[in-house]
Structure 1
Amino acid sequence: MNEVGNAPIAPGGDSRRRDMDLRGWLRRMEDTGRLAIAKPGASLQFAVAGLANRHDGRQALVAPAPEGHPDGIVVSGLLSRREWMAEALGIAPQDLLAEFQAAIRSPVAVREVADAPCQEVIHENVDLTRLLPIPTHNEHDSGAYITAGLVICRNPETGVQNVSIHRLQISGAREMGALLLPRHTLSFFTEAEERGVDLEVAVVVGASPACLLASQAIVPIDFDELTIAGALGGAGVEVVRCRTVDLLVPAQSEIVIEGRFRAGLRKPEGPFGEFPQYYGERADRHVLEVDCVTTRRNPMLHTIVGGALEHLILGAIPREATILNSLRDNFPNVQDVHLAPGGTCRYHLYIKMKPRQAGEAKNVIMGAFAAHYDIKHVVVVNEDVDIHDAEMVEWAVATRFQADRDLVVVSGVQGSKLDPSTDNGYGAKMGLDATVPVDAPPFRFTRIRVPGEAEIDLNAAVAQGVTLAQVLDEGA
């Protein structure tokens, strides 16, 4: 077994193996009553996605033997609550951002193995539509999509791997269309295309929770996200070398699709239901040509329904960690941040801080806009407000905010291109300072409180089995 990657193993390693592979996490969900198993024969066109949505945030879904694939298994909704993600990693929910930040600071190198479960079965004559049970999610999607595939490629200059998630349209038996946004994968492809060559790629489906979360990290180029997954999991990720491309993929994964992004080739892709719960439009986009597929025996295909909680949570946690780091560099009294589900876990940011001087919350608002271009609306509150409780945030706005004094509006700025209210991303941003003025008389903003309420033991204080008739002594 060899240690490879761009980061060393931490001295002595971490004896905890906190991370679970996909199967281990599903067993944990089943053992705790959070797994729904559909009847065989569910249609891959809308029905599997519909079932996943109906269970979203309450139970994960396993759909065995979907229509047309008697041996197939589709799973979804595995990580649709941030508490589940923390649990899968052996982390307390309140420590999730701190642990993610620590994993980026102290990555753990991958460990290459010769044999791996993800290569138990090898398919060289590939027809994706017949081989894999790939669902169609939303009404106007252009067809079936792989949505939970980790796209792994190398920097042509340095050889360092990158891991990310891109939507992948099934365009033919051996062909997928891909939306590559201006990030590291597109940078590597552009470099390869300028040289006149294809970019080798592996699409990993059915990865561990740690690998899924790490893939969304906002880190500098030439930072292998699998080393973040190793730090999150407490040990280096076991990887195996692909059979037809020079890439290392997580050994415990369910499915690996090997191929190449084709230089000089673009074909229509989309529409597709995206995280704002609107459709990304159809356009000529990059093409992935498939050479080989390897799988476990009886592989499970993980699908993330567009716009569902799993989609939102996976993107939110790494963004929150990055935004919190950025804000604390300049405002150490910022305590926490939260990308609210009502803002699609991208557009609405709640910030908890302890203001020390007048106007500081407005500076924090502007720092938040600079921390990530997706952020559209920011609400800053005091440390007594639970930013994970939308009602508490709304209460702070209702009782501590005045529009003519506490509102920040910035016009003519770049935001998310997937926000349909913008002009291709060009729009406005708004911040609300819902903090208590630092010079306010203390009693003016003192919240009401019943002393001892939180300490009451309800089981001891509430009579069990006593009826109102008995209290009123009726019929005695």
Structure 2
Amino acid sequence: MARDLRGFIQLLEDRGQLHRIKTEVDPDLEIAEIANRMLQIGGPGLLFEKVKGSNFPVAVNLMGTVERICWAMKMEKPEELEELGKKLGMLQQPKPPKKLAQAVDFGKILFDVVKAKPGRSFFPPCHQVVVEGEDLDLRQLPLIRPYPGDAGKIITLGLVITKDVETGTPNVGVYRLQLQSKNTMTVHWLSVRGGARHLRKAAQAGKPLEIAIALGVDPLIIMAAATPIPVDLSEWLFAGLYGGSGVQLAKCKTVDLEVPADSEFVLEGTITPGEMLPDGPFGDHMGYYGGVEDSPLIRFHTLTHRQDPIYLTTFSGRPPKEEAMMAIALNRIYTPILRQQVPEITDFFLPMEALSYKAAIISIDKAYPGQAKRAALAFWSALPQFTYTKFVIVVDQDINIRDPRQVVWAISSKVDPSRDVFILPETPFDTLDFASEKIGLGGRMGIDATTKIPPETSHEWGEVLESDPTMAAQVERRWAEYGLGDIAFTEVDPNLFGYDIKL
């Protein structure tokens, strides 16, 4: 399979996971409404071949299930994502090998890093068509407007590429951009993000910031750019590690930046520090419209694209959405890294319904009093993306953290709120979270739902009810004799919405 968007679309079509829509559709509200209904039922990716006001087709919902994200990352099962996490964990905190087998494993990882280095393309497909100057009109792109209250049309799945004006170190992020005119857009990024840091440094140096937007790239590269784990590696190298071979890069036509050579579209421009325009409101991942914020203005002067390009898009909102599926996949990758950071954590889960990061359920192998609180505090500081997690529920390792029935039972049967709930007030908070009294500042709650041991409690804990193992085995053997053969013990497919619930 080719390492580009077209190769992934072909893979989905070959596996019966792509539906082509030949009827003309409107990028204003209609595409998002169709895609949202498909997301709700875990349906196939969509390719709209005739889009009103544009000559370019639109792809959406390509990563609408965890299964398809695994395919994008050259894997077949979600469990393989944890193996990737182990590899990244070893690179993050390498330890001297104590055994020959460990040395061999580490050597293999170093070889993977060598293979993952990006290559260079001198005749890149993304330069097949060049549009410059007055001929550039961003309104010809099939930019969508997902919700009726949105301020305008947006780019959502573009790789936003900038470079540190002092060190030359690039940053690749995925940020929302709002169309402002035929050749300008605003970019919405948090102040802690790499692009925002680069803009501040450009302002200090009195220079404009060069910027490129790569649209319609290999979904694997999008996953790499969306992985904010603290490893001193570039996003290009991450993508190479994810895919097993280096990403082919191409130099932009007019700015000193590199983009994936197989990008469907590339926008090139500059930001003049201090030049801002109002951005928003837009529907966001919290399930509400965000506010209006003054955001940096990008002036584009060049557009390049492939012959017959395909425009890839998505949109935010209350789960399930593509971003929630991406978060479930990243959850699997984070698990081994988190275990390395906080050894007592045996597993953790970020429920999609809790926006994939607002609530975390972690299990521990409890060995001493107070360990649950320690694990919660360690979780909040383990990785940058957990900074905005509001709720952490800690359970024993025998609880299936992906089964809400077991988690609710643990909370209900093992928690005394006066003893087991603790709150950290006025901590850094997500500015899109309207629940806090002060925007950007709010509290966090930890819940110790583990079995209590002295001195956490002064009395004996009750014995958990369990079936007699001999009788359980007998019933299982005689299940068909009871006339119940048609009612089998099955598992819900965990790839649809990320659960693994035993029935």
TM-score (norm: length of structure 2): 0.81
For residues 398 and 452 of structure 1, do their structure 2 counterparts lie closer, same or farther at Cα, with a shift above 3 Å needed?
farther
SS at match of 1:280: coil
Whole-angstrom CA distance in 2 between matches of 1:453 and 1:103: 45
Q: Secondary structure of 1:273's partner?
A: coil
The one of 253, 267, 270 equivalent to 1:260 is 270
Q: Equivalent residue for 2:105?
A: none
State the distance in 1 between where 2:479 and 2:78 align.
24
Distance in 1, matches of 2:473 and 2:211, equals 61
The match for 1:403 among 375, 399, 417 is 417
Would the alpha carbon gap of residues 220 and 352 (structure 1) be closer, same or farther in structure 2, given more than 3 Å must change?
Answer: closer
* 1:95 to 1:336, Cα distance in 2 relative to 1, 3 A: farther
For residues 281 and 478 of structure 2, the distance between their equivalents in structure 1, rounded to whole angstroms, comes to 54
Pairwise CA distance, 1:259: 1.1
**Closer/same/farther in 2, CA of residues 336 and 81 from structure 1, 3 Å limit:** farther
What corresponds to 1:9 in structure 2? Answer: none
Which of 164, 176, 180 is 2:189 aligned to?
Answer: 180
Q: 1:118-157 maps to which residues of 2 (within 5 A)?
A: 118-124=126-132, 125-130=135-140, 132-157=141-166
Q: 1:385 to 1:296 in 2, by over 3 A?
A: farther
Give the CA deviation at 1:240. 1.0
Cα RMSD of the aligned pairs, angstroms, is 2.8
Inter-partner Cα distance in structure 1 for 2:404 and 2:17: 25
Partner of 2:49: 64
Q: Deviations over 1:300-322 (max 9, x none)?
A: 11112112521233356547755
Structure 2 match to 1:445: 464
Alignment of 1:40 with 2:59, yes or no, is no
Q: What secondary structure does 1:298 align onto? A: coil
- 140-149 vs 449-458, which moves further: 449-458
Per-residue deviation at 1:102? Answer: 2.3
The total of aligned residue pairs comes to 443
The answer as to 2:403 corresponding to 1:389 is: yes
> CA separation of 1:73/1:392 partners in 2, compared to 1, >3 Å: closer, same or farther?
farther
Distance 2:478 2:210 in 1: 61
Check the 8 A contact 2:85/2:334 in 1, yes or no. no
Of the three residues 228, 238, 242, the one matched with 1:232 is: 242
1:288-437 equivalences in 2 (<5 Å): 288-307=298-317, 309-315=321-327, 317-318=329-330, 321=333, 325=337, 328-329=340-341, 331-371=342-382, 372-422=386-436, 423-437=438-452
Cα deviation, 1:47-69, whole Å, max 9, x if unaligned, reads 00111111113222211111122
> Identity rate of aligned residues, in percent?
28
Asked whether the 8 Å contact 2:79–2:332 carries over to 1, the reply is no
Unaligned 5+ segments in structure 2 are 92-109, 488-503
Alignment partner, residue 80 of structure 1: 64
Deviates more, 1:435-444 or 1:219-228: 435-444
User: For 1:351, what is the secondary structure of its paired residue?
Assistant: strand
Cα 1:25–1:311 shift into 2, 3 Å: same
Provide the C-alpha distance between the structure 2 equivalents of 1:212 and 1:163, rounded to a whole number of angstroms: 9
Q: Cα deviation per residue 1:73-106 (whole Å; 9 max; x = unaligned)?
A: 1111122233322232233312314414524726
Q: Which residue of 2 aligns with 1:161?
A: 170
Shift of 1:443: 7.2
What is the distance in 2 between the residues matched to 1:129 and 1:457? Answer: 64
Aligned partner of 1:426: which letter? L
The alpha-carbon distance between structure 1 residues 62 and 361, as it changes in their structure 2 partners (threshold 3 A), is same
Q: Is the 8 A contact 2:159 2:213 kept in 1?
A: yes
- Segments ≥4 residues shifted beyond 6 Å: 439-443, 452-458
- Alpha-carbon offset, residue 325 of structure 1: 3.2
Moved more, 377-386 or 439-448: 439-448
Aligned equivalent of 1:117 = 125
| C-alpha contact (below 8 Å) 1:327/1:368 kept by paired residues | no
CA contact (8 A) 2:66 2:328 kept: no
Secondary structure of 1:444's counterpart equals: coil
